[in-house]
Every structure is written in C-alpha cells, then in structure tokens.
Amino acid sequence: AKKQGGGSFSFFSEELRRELDHRKQLEHDIRIAISEKEFQVYFQPQVSLSNGSISGIEALVRWTHAERGAIAPGEFIPVAEKCGLMPEIGRIVIAKAIHEAADWNRDGIAFGRLAVNVSGSELREPDFDAFLFDTLQKAGLPPEKLSLEIVESVILDDEKTGIAAKLRHIRAAGVHLELDDFGTGYASLSHVNPNEIDRLKIDRRFVQKINENGDNTKIVRAITELARGLGISIVAEGAETEAELNSLMALGCDQVQGYSIAFPMPQEKAREWLVARAP
C-alpha cells in the first residue's frame, strides 16, 4: 500500500480497500456458487389487464449464499459482470428456466411466454444464439414461447459488436424481443421499431405510486400511446397496490407484473400458481 499524507485521503483509501476486499470476496464466492450450483431461478407471472389471463412469466436469478443467506441480484450481478462471470451465470439461469417452461408446456400448463433477462455481456458471447437454439431444442420448447428482456443501452450497442444481427437472427426464429427498463435509458424512441421489438417493459420507477404521482401518470400515458400507435405490446413492472393496478388499467396498459399479482416464486410454487390460475 502507498504512504499517505492527509488524513482524509487515507480514510478514503481505507474505504476503497474495504470495497475492493469485499468485491474480491464476492467474486471468489460467485465462482464457488457456480461450481456448487447455488444459483436458482424464481418466476414472476405477468397478466393481461383486460381479462386477467397469464401473458408471461419472468425468470429471475436467486442466490442463497452458504453463510450470508440470500444475496440480491442487484448486489452480485454488477460484480459478476466486472469479473466476466455473468455469461456463465446467465446460461445456468436461461437453461433452467427453459427446461422448466418446457415441462409446463408438455403438461398443458398455460404460462404465456417465458421471459428471460439477457445482459450485454451474455449477448456478446459469439455463440449466444447457438446456445439459445440448442437449449430450446434439447428442452423441447418452441422458440415462440420465449422472450428476451434486453435493456435499451444494449440494443444501441448494435452493429459493431454484431448484436443487432444476432438479435435479428434470434427473432427470425420466433423468439420475442422486448425492451426492459423502458424509459430509463436514452434515445429510446429511435429504437422502438415494431419490426424489431415485440414488447416494451415500463420500469417500476414509473409505475410505483402512479396513482399519486402526476409525472409518472404522464410518462406511462405517453409510453402506452407510443406503443399502441406502433402496435407493440406493453407490460408495466412493479405494481404493488390495487390503486396502481387501477391507474395502469385506466391508462390502457396491456399487461402488468408486480407484487400485487404475485411475488417471484420458486419453480414448484410457480407451477402451483399457474395451475390454480388456469381457467
């Protein structure tokens, strides 16, 4: 370590060191979690606001650390991205989710479409599309039953890295594509092309307290009108209350996902939920 002069600088450097130690430890634990198969998948349903039918179900990674207990994706995903482990974790999650959805499909359990989150680092892997097609085929899930949730910034990162071409290839096979966290990025409108995108997902920051917050109401109304004009469907994320659901319905939002409908659930629970919900 370097010799420091000022007290404040040495305090800062102490903080930084702790931060680095923490990240190193987490990185080490993530590697163990991969080999020990500690990553699990939870599922959170999405329902149609017009008739209550199930329109989709999102797969969300979960990690229960042997000593620390549950660690949120918001804590470990940034570290996994920094140390290049996210593509590996992503494939574990995607494969598990696709196999589970294929089982539902075979058992005649309606789930709409399975939605999986895919980050830029996962998509940039040269064989991501091959992995996806191979997994769908092995599991026996039709590509039409799958949707990829991708944030805007990744879609913008297009031609040079070959992501755009890869996404077109994946979509041509029948897989749906959607813009996740819509409204939080930039240059959104130029990238909302109905020939490339099937669904917009409104981030929960615009959905929460929408009934009390006039600005959120305006934003959601604008996004909903944009989507309707373009013929793209729309799902609102993070609706926690009946009042939020009612506001979303009044604004003409197609679908909703959130604690007011269901929490993310482990696979057995998700299956029971889907079966109980079926008409």
Q: Pick the closer one to ligand C2E by CB: 104 or 206.
A: 206
Residue 46 site contact among Ca ion, ligand C2E, none (CB < 5 to 8 Å, cut-off depends on kind): none
Q: Pick the closer one to Ca ion by CB: 31 or 124.
A: 124
Residues 207 and 167: their CA atoms lie apart, in Å, by 28
- Smallest distance from Ca ion to CB 147, Å: 10
- Smallest distance from Ca ion to CB 182, Å: 9
Q: Pick the closer one to ligand C2E by CB: 10 or 65.
A: 65
- Smallest distance from ligand C2E to CB 215, Å: 19
- Smallest distance from ligand C2E to CB 62, Å: 7
* 203 lies in the binding site for Ca ion (CB under 5 A): yes
Segment lying near Ca ion (by CB under 5 A), choices 82-90, 181-189, 192-200, 211-219: 181-189
What string marks each residue from 90 to 129 as x (binds Ca ion by CB under 5 A) or -? ---------------------------x------------
Contact (CB, 8 A) for 26 and 82: no
Q: Pick the closer one to Ca ion by CB: 181 or 254.
A: 181
Q: Which residues of this protein are in contact with ligand C2E, per CB under 6 A?
A: 44, 60-61, 72-74, 77, 90, 93, 117-119, 149, 180-181, 204, 237-240, 257-259, 264
- Smallest distance from Ca ion to CB 118, Å: 9
Residues 40 and 34: their CA atoms lie apart, in Å, by 10
Please pick, from the candidates 29, 100, 122, 149, the single residue that binds Ca ion as defined by CB under 5 A: 149
